C-alpha cells in the first residue's frame, strides 16, 4: 500500500482512543481530527497505519454540540466522555470550555471528561486557561511522555524536551486536572536503553503524575522509524529487556512518587498494576523479577505488532 491508496477521512472520524476509555464504554465526541504535530518518528497513526490518513483540523463547534445533543436525546447518561482527536488541547481554550460545559449541562452524571494533549499545547496555554478547563469540568488529560531523555525525544522528533515535559505536567496538576502519562518501553532501542531508564525515572519523580502507563514500542508502517528499523538503524528490545526497563524505571523512582501505575495495553509483556506505587513498589519489582527470571519469557520470541 502506498499513500495514493489511502483514504483521507473527515475530522469526525475517530481513529484512536485510550484503552481505558474503551473499557469504560466512554462516549466518544470528536473535537479535533488528526494531530497538529504529526512528526513523531515512531507514530504512523494518522499517516496510514490504519489504512487511512487524517489531516489535522478543528471541528466546527456547532457539529460538536450536535453530537452532544444526540447522546442526551438517546439517554447516554452516566457514561464517561472522551473528547477525541490526537490533541484537542490544541484548540482555543474558549472553544474547549464551551464544549466541556455543554457536556456537563446536557449529559447527566458524567463521571469523567478526558482528552489527549501534547506538552506543546499545554505550554501555549496560560495557567488561567488551564484553570478554566478544570473549572468547566475537564477531569483528566492523557499525555505522551514517552521518555524522560531529551536526547531520545529529539531523535524521535517529539517536538519537546524533558524540561518542557516536566513544566507541562506540573502545570496540568497545578490547575486541578489529573494527569496520565504514557511511557514507551524500548523507545531508546538497545543503544539508549539505560539513558531511557534513568531519565524517565527522573522526570516521573519530578512530576509525580496521577497515573503513568507503560506501553511497549512496536514499530508500525508509515512511521519514519519503520524504515530505520528495516535498514538496521534501530534495534528493538527483547521481551526480557522490555521488562527489565520497566523494573529499573520503577526501582529508580524517588520515594515521593505516589502514582497509579498500569500495564493496560496489548503491547505489554505483563499486566500488573497498582493504585499507589509508593506503597506497592517492592511487590511491583518482585513481580517483574519473577517474570524476568521465568524461562518461558526468557525464550519468548519478540514479535512486532503493526496495528494496535
pLDDT per residue over 222-235, tens digit each?
Answer: 999 999 999 999 99
The domain 1-138 having CATH identifier 3.30.750.210: the answer here is yes
Mean pLDDT of the residues in the chain? 96
β-strand pairing of 57-58 with 32-33? antiparallel
Residues 6+ apart with CB under 8 A from 57: 11, 32, 33, 34
- Segment 169-193 shows an average pLDDT of 98
pLDDT per residue over 117-156, tens digit each?
Answer: 999 999 999 999 999 999 999 999 999 999 999 999 999 9
Read off the pTM.
Answer: 0.95
What residue spans in the chain does CATH classification 3.30.750.210 cover?
1-138
Confidence check: pLDDT of 1 > 60? no
Q: Is 264 exposed, middle or buried (0-12, 13-18, 19+ CB in 10 A)?
A: middle
d(CA 209, CA 141): 11
Amino acid at each position: 500500500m502506498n499513500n495514493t491508496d489511502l483514504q483521507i477521512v473527515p475530522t469526525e472520524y475517530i481513529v484512536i482512543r485510550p484503552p481505558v476509555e474503551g473499557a469504560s464504554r466512554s462516549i466518544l465526541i470528536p473535537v479535533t481530527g488528526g494531530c497538529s504535530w504529526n512528526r513523531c518518528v515512531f507514530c504512523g497513526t494518522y499517516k496510514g497505519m490504519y489504512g487511512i490518513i487524517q489531516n489535522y483540523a478543528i471541528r466546527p463547534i456547532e457539529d460538536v454540540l450536535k453530537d452532544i445533543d444526540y447522546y442526551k436525546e438517546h439517554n447516554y447518561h452516566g457514561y464517561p466522555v472522551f473528547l477525541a482527536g490526537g490533541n484537542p488541547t490544541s484548540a482555543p481554550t474558549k472553544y474547549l470550555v464551551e464544549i466541556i460545559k455543554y457536556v456537563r449541562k446536557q449529559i447527566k452524571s458524567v463521571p469523567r471528561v478526558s482528552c489527549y494533549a501534547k506538552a506543546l499545547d499545554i505550554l501555549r496555554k496560560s495557567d488561567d486557561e488551564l484553570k478554566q478547563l478544570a473549572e468547566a469540568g475537564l477531569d483528566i488529560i492523557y499525555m505522551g511522555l514517552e521518555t524522560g531523555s531529551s536526547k531520545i525525544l529529539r531523535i524521535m522528533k517529539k517536538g519537546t524536551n524533558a524540561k518542557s515535559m516536566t513544566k507541562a505536567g506540573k502545570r496540568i496538576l497545578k490547575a486541578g486536572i489529573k494527569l496520565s502519562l504514557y511511557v514507551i518501553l524500548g523507545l531508546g532501542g538497545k543503544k539508549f536503553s539505560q539513558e531511557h531508564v534513568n531519565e524517565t525515572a527522573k522526570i516521573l519523580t519530578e512530576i509525580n503524575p496521577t497515573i503513568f502507563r507503560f506501553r511497549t514500542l512496536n514499530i508500525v508502517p508509515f512511521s519514519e522509524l519503520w524504515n530505520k528499523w528495516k535498514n538496521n538503524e534501530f534495534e528493538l528490545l527483547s521481551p526480557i529487556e522490555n521488562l527489565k526497563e520497566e523494573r529499573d524505571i520503577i526501582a529508580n523512582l524517588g520515594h515521593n512518587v505516589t502514582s497509579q501505575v498500569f500495564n493496560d495495553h496489548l503491547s505489554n509483556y505483563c499486566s500488573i498494576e497498582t493504585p499507589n506505587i509508593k506503597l506497592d513498589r517492592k511487590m511491583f519489582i518482585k513481580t517483574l523479577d519473577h517474570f524476568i527470571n521465568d524461562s518461558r519469557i526468557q525464550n519468548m520470541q519478540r514479535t512486532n505488532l503493526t496495528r494496535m
